[in-house]
Chain A
Amino acid sequence: MIAPVRIGSDMRNLAVALVATFLAVATASAAERIEFNRDIRPILSENCFACHGPDRNARQAGLRLDRREEAISRGVIQPGNASSSRLVARVRQANPALAMPPLAADKKLTDRQKDLLAAWIDQGAEYQEHWAYIKPERPDAPAGPAGIDHLVGARLDQRGLRPVGEADRRTLARRVSFDLTGLPPRPDQVESFVRNRRPDAWEDLVDSLLDSPHYGERMAVHWLDLVRYADTVGYHGDVPVNIYPFRDYVVRSFNENKPFDVMTREQLAGDLLPERGPWQVVASGYNRLSRMTNEGGSQAKEYLAKYAADRVRNVSTVWLGSTLGCAECHDHKFDPFLARDFYSMGAFFADIEEKGVFGGNADWGSRIRVLDGAAEAEMAEIESSLERLRGPDRQDLPRDRQTLDALAAYLREDLLSWRALGPDKAWTDCGHPDFDQCGQFGLEKEGEGLVKVILSGDKRPRESIHRVEFPLEEGRLTAFALELYPSGDFADFYLSEFEVRLLGRETWPVRLSLTGLLPDREEPGSMLRDTLDGNYHTGWKGSWEEDEARTAVFVLESPLRTSPGERLQVSLIAHARQLHGLPSRFRILATDSAFPELPATGELRRAILSRELLSDGQSAALDAAYERIVGGNASWREIRALERRRKVLRDGAHETLVAKSVEEPRAMRILPRGNWMDDSGDPVEPQVPEFLGKLPTEGRRLNRLDLAAWVTHPDNPLTARVFANRLWRMFFGTGLSKVLDDLGSQGELPDHQELLDWLAAEFVESGWDIRHLVRTMLLSETYRRSSEPSDELLAADPYNRLHGRQTMARIDAEFVRDNALAVSGLLNRKMGGPSAKPYQPPGYYKELNFPKRVYEPDLNANQFRRGLYTHWQRQYLHPALLAFDAPAREECAADRTVSNTPLQSLVMLNDPSYVEAARVFAARILREGGGSDRKRIDFAFREAFTRLPLPREREIALGLLERQREGFGTEPARAAQLLATGISAVPHDVRTVELAAWTSLARALFNKHEFLMRY
């Protein structure tokens, strides 16, 4: 038994299990010929190989027992003659000083094991290669889902066990919905499935769920665990890093049913593909998911060694299900991996551009910007329109006074629509823990919306948070402009973040989403868009020329209707590494123009506004603007519009880390005992583990494409099995080989190897078609069985390894919250994009530093995104995810444990996410559930559990409802407090006490064990 997955049940079932296992072994070996892999290898591997196995440095007496010829040549094993084999003599030796395994090894063979060894030698001591290293052969079984049922049935028959019957349709609908989408089924979906008596009803349901975009999200959760996707770098300051497009690539790939070999190739080597699109390069971000450091005092060489080892561990676990990572310091103790194999595998990744110690908090090496699907299509259209409009040659346009006047008129209209906002409040905010210098200056309001910045200390601060607030009137806003006036003594400025919030509409400040960005000037490396990225180590910087203000326009994602009583709060945040000038003054303007241009300043402004004769300077400014805007083309208005849109799309593109191959790969050598300071080891070139073959090099250096091709070659014995085994775990509760990350000799011999091999063969022969394999599993009768065990099965097969029934499974961490959001109706089904920040206990990031951090939950629709999009902070994973066993993703996690702890109860009871979902669900129950308490309770059960309550359950629910009504009735203030949890609106047409009481009922249903389960 390895790694108990379900604590409670394991402990209770241990005794039963031990008996059952023993019986299984006894039955098998008495009736059949002894098989090395099934019967002997586990004994030798567990007790002997550590000293008499593959690791040459640990080998005792020069003897290895993992190779038949060597064991025979030393006379330790004499095939057909156990009594003269020294192996048998030594394990049966009564004198503890001479017995094997030696006392010090702390291992002991049972008499049964000794007899088995002897019997095996008598039968000829036939070895078998380890099962997982032999290419799977397709066992004889019918095609399609029936193949699974046939193979599972044969095993059950052999044991004389009868499977249980099919689960009822409601259970099935709920099961398959969670399994394929991670979400509960829609009630109408369930009803139509229950009523649909056509023979293909099940197939239809499965197919409709496979077609759901949520299918890709569900599959991605597991894959992201494997490749250790996260939103932060992991080491030291654990600062955020942009790589979420990789996550979206994974979701997309599953939804497009990209063949597994293609997914593999793109992730391992998308950047090396001869013909590659941007998303294939995004996929190569796989190579950048290992942890990284920027800690001062770290030694680059040490960390390069750490990163290399990290990649070897990951690639070998994810694709090969092998613990090649164990060969970092020595040859593997149990499997035939050599230390050389470890470093040769690492050499495949030595071409990836990287630093041992990265420079700052924003620069994590090679990255690209990529458009998401819709933007990608729009961009293509824009480009082709621009090409058409621009024509082949620059046209010679008139530059006469009349033309300039026309341009000035166009700009004037826009310019006049800008209004300076007059602040009634301006202050410097020192609340943020990393802004401890900002107390040294203040803000003062001047006329025309100008805010003067006054230094009050002698030390010039590099950090500042300026906030200004403006009262609003009835109206409409489409864009804001920021003007920064020169400081006088410094020529340059720095703006890290620009934030706009709407106050007075909701009970919380609504952060307005800004997209279009028009700076007067910007340079690569410090673009205006960097002021919207939430990272104050990046920003817009520039310098003043003369005494003109610098200007930037921020366009709202959608126009904002404003009302009296509402206010705007604008924050300018600067957190510079070097000293920069502060603006002496700044000003915020707003416009309702549908197509805002930059509000011009200085000479140009005067020229545009002037209807009189222009001065020389004004003429020159207007002429320069003409050149910039018209650029010599008659269709300039249209072109301008397209270029503006293109800029908006480009600024909205997503930055993501990718792999980039360098010309000269880093030298790789074997590190003796894994010691990165020891340069005495042999240099190595990229190559696959020796015992699995050798890739021809043909005089060139192998690369990651070669590795990908080898990994997914139909002859690779491991990859398809590893994947099929994990898929089986996903849908049947336990892997066919229970240890999902190790198919090696210390893993578990598959409980049903024929079935695993059949699935692996099916997978490869289908062209690595993931959806085909999923569908095959789900259409089997085995999948549809009830999860309720018969007495017989419970006794004979307590862990359900024979699959005579389905497995009861707790849903994954992400899906627990998704479920509550979906049932309440709050779930935001938007896919992809930057990670979301649900509520989190304040101060949870307190122990993080460099920089210190304040977690700002998303106070908008992003609050209700699916759990898979939650900001994944490696060092401080969201505590609710952590409580439900989501991994930190510092290392590959092939399997999640399933625990059952009081911290889970506290999350379900008290996390505001669940309280809010409960009160929104309560409002739905009252609105849609019918007119009586009974009807409403029935409705609530159906929504939450896909079934009606039993009479006793209805009674309990009514009782709770009654008592909570009484409680809130006595103290109505409590009801109002409860309903104030969260940001979603509280309906005004429901009595507060009533809504609060139903909220309690909804909370009780969310806390019911069944809510966490898929049966």
Chain B
Amino acid sequence: MRKPRFNLFETRRAFLGQASMGLGSAALASLLKPSLLGVQPGIGGFPNGQGRVKRIIFLCMAGGPAHLELLDHKPELAKRHGEPMPESFTKGQQIAQLQGKELRILGPRHPFRHYGESGQHMTSLLPHIGSIADDICIVRSMQTEQINHDTAHTFMNSGFRLAGRPSMGSWLLYGLGSESEDLPGFVVLTSEGGSQSQPIAARQWNSGFLPSIYQGVKFNSTGDPVNYVRNPRGVSREMQGELIDAVSELNAVQQGWTRDPEIATRIAQYELAFRMQMSVPDLVDFSDEPQHVLDMYGTQRVDGTFAANCLLARRMAERGVRFIHLYHRGWDHHNEIKTLLPKSCGYVDQGTAALVKDLKQRGLFEDTLIVWCGEFGRTPMSQGTDPDLMGRDHHIKGFSMWMAGGGIKGGHSYGATDELGYNAVENVVHVHDLHATILHLFGIDHTKLTYRFQGRDFRLTDVHGKVVTGILA
């Protein structure tokens, strides 16, 4: 093998130091600390409080999991199965596919049981998650404002129904910066299975009006893990390295005759790009994982399954990725909740539990926040008339989720819906409150993390949001 002329990480820096004599001190400083510019820097000043966690793994159960089958047991539904839904609940309320249909109560299609020492009450369909019941805090009083998938995801991610606001991951990076020197600080992974797969727009990880360096980067489960991360065909790592070296040298020459301040940044970004090209293949290569770990997750390789994504999430957590967002597109059970829901659960159950256990055994659980949540829940009313094929429609007035990790009270549940599971009535947690709480756990006062756009100081929680102290340890 030929020896590359430049050692990419040491020699070049020395060389650039020489080549850039006569530069302004600002540019020079940036050369000496390329990581500061190359990686996503935060604005400074945050955290502005006591932080409990450094990173978040957000497991989005996209489509809207049926809370009344999974996390919120309502015996009353079973008792009144088939009866008309009382109008006192539904009159004047938003409704999706059941518009103009007869509204009848649907009893739970699957049994519940108690798990763990805490006796958390959950579906029998999620036994693995049941095995971490004492680590999680179930919230049964969620509310959101948007009843269709697209806008509901937008609301869940950015706190606003319209496109154009930054998503939570971008806000976090903007506030805290990234801790990774060779991976993006906000990563998205997707998987599917269990119901029709509703689309997910790239807007969901967009940085909105924040600078685009804070944009989420989606990893692909097939093809190149990150778009354009692979060298052109036929180009070896060494040859690509030589080329990048030459580019940086040429850029450094240019610094001798122009005061363009972006050149220094550009040089740093090429270094980071090259580091990404080297680190991403390592990240997605599971060969250094012992078999028992692979078995625990129920995966063998990066294959786009939720289980593999969970293991990837742990590997990213170890490498300093700040916001790891997994979407499992498979919870839109308008029908066949009886047969399809177990499938969806089967896709995510083992991987989710393995992730929590794995984080614990590696000491990462205490400073990681794990959120398991859909963009909304599903109605107490049935959709469809055939008892075997019945499902539930979208529902926003009350649904469930759970959280675990640093600062979260494990083995606990919080909030409640009414006897039919329609309205959140006790300790209501709005999406804005969830956002405020997430930021709080990172040590950020959600009212202080702002960005001025179109003359207004915007924030993730808009003008709302309160920290849900009842779930904090």
Residues of A at under 8 Å CB distance from B?
2-4, 6-9, 11-13, 106, 234-238, 291, 293, 295-299, 302, 323, 326, 333-334, 677, 739, 741-742, 744-747, 788-789, 794, 808, 810, 841-844, 846-850, 874-877, 879-880, 882, 885, 888, 890-891, 897, 899-907, 909-912, 915, 950, 952-953, 956-957, 959-960, 963-964, 966-968, 970-971, 973-981, 996, 1000, 1003-1004, 1007-1010, 1013, 1015
Contacts and interface: CB of A to CB of B under 8 A. Distances in A.
B234 A996 contact: yes
B250 A236 contact: no
Nearest to A106: B447
B249 A956 contact: yes
For A847, A876, A907, A953, the residue with the greatest tally of chain B CB atoms inside 10 Å of its CB is: A847
Contact of A1007 (B231, B243, B448): B243
A996 B233 CA distance: 11
Interface string B217-257: 10010111011111111111011101110110111011001
21 contacts: A8-B264, A297-B99, A299-B147, A746-B456, A810-B262, A841-B228, A846-B190, A847-B199, A848-B199, A875-B199, A888-B203, A897-B211, A900-B262, A902-B269, A909-B244, A910-B228, A956-B250, A964-B243, A974-B234, A978-B233, A1004-B250
B213 A901 contact: yes
A1009 B259 CA distance: 13
A138 to B, nearest CB: 28
Contacts of A299: 94-96, 99, 147
A132 to B, nearest CB: 12
A959 B126 CA distance: 61
B164 interface: yes
A921 to B, nearest CB: 14
Contact of B270 (A957, A971, A1007): A1007
B101 to A, nearest CB: 11
B273 A236 contact: no
Nearest to A915: B232
Nearest to B188: A847
B9 interface: no
A969 to B, nearest CB: 10
B156 to A, nearest CB: 16
Interface string B180-199: 00000000001000001111
B200 interface: yes
A846 B453 CA distance: 32
Contacts of A742: 454-455
Given A746-B456, A844-B227, A911-B228, 8 more contacts: A13-B261, A238-B201, A302-B94, A849-B197, A964-B242, A973-B234, A974-B234, A978-B233
Given A901-B269, A1004-B250, A967 B242 contact: yes
Q: Which 9 pairs between the two chains have the least Cβ-Cβ distance?
A: A746-B455, A977-B234, A297-B96, A905-B273, A297-B97, A978-B234, A875-B201, A8-B265, A960-B246
A978 B228 contact: no
A950 B96 contact: no
A940 B289 CA distance: 48
A786 to B, nearest CB: 10
A1004 B26 contact: no
B226 A906 contact: yes
A1009 B265 CA distance: 10
Contact of B454 (A323, A910, A1004): A323
A903 B266 CA distance: 11
B432 interface: no
Contact of B217 (A850, A890, A903): A903
B263 A1009 contact: yes
B201 A912 contact: no
Contacts of A976: 234
B117 interface: no
Contact of A875 (B203, B244, B251, B453): B203
A899 B206 CA distance: 14
A849 B243 contact: no
A90 to B, nearest CB: 22
B8 interface: no
Contact of A808 (B41, B203, B251, B260): B260
Contacts of A333: 456
B294 interface: no
A909 B235 CA distance: 11
Nearest to B273: A905
A905 B270 contact: yes
A1008 B251 contact: yes
For A236, A747, A966, A977, the residue with the greatest tally of chain B CB atoms inside 10 Å of its CB is: A236
Interface residues of B, number: 95
B329 interface: yes
Given A841-B224, A909-B273, A957 B246 contact: yes
Interface string B322-339: 000001010000000000
B276 interface: yes
Contact of A1009 (B95, B233, B262, B276): B262
A238 B228 contact: no
B38 A902 contact: yes
B394 interface: yes
A910 B231 contact: yes
A996 B236 CA distance: 13
A13 B26 contact: yes
B139 interface: no
B261 A12 contact: yes
For B99, B162, B197, B447, the residue with the greatest tally of chain A CB atoms inside 10 Å of its CB is: B162
B238 to A, nearest CB: 7
B363 interface: no
A273 to B, nearest CB: 32
A458 to B, nearest CB: 21
Contact of A960 (B226, B232, B243): B243
Contacts of B199: 236-238, 847-850, 875
A297 B233 CA distance: 46
B247 A1008 contact: yes
For B97, B201, B456, the residue with the greatest tally of chain A CB atoms inside 10 Å of its CB is: B201
A956 B248 CA distance: 10
Nearest to B202: A876
Contacts of A956: 246, 249-250, 253
A846 B41 CA distance: 31
Interface in B139-178: 147-151, 162-164
A237 B198 CA distance: 8
Given A677-B94, A964-B239, A974-B234, A900 B26 contact: no
Contacts of A909: 228, 231-232, 240, 243-244, 273
B7 interface: no
A1008 B250 contact: yes
A906 B253 contact: no
Nearest to B196: A849
Contacts of A334: 455
Nearest to B99: A299
Given A3-B452, A876-B202, A885 B235 contact: no
B239 A1000 contact: yes
A1013 B266 CA distance: 12
B361 interface: no
Contacts of A7: 211, 213, 265
Nearest to A11: B41
Contact of A747 (B2, B26, B455): B455
A900 B30 CA distance: 14
Contacts of A1004: 243, 246-247, 250
A902 B273 contact: yes
Contacts of B224: 841
Contact of A978 (B203, B212, B235): B235
B307 interface: no
Given A847-B190, A875-B199, A875-B203, A1000 B243 contact: yes
B88 interface: no
Contacts of B283: none
Contacts of B452: 2-3
Given A677-B94, A1000-B239, A1007-B243, A900 B201 contact: no
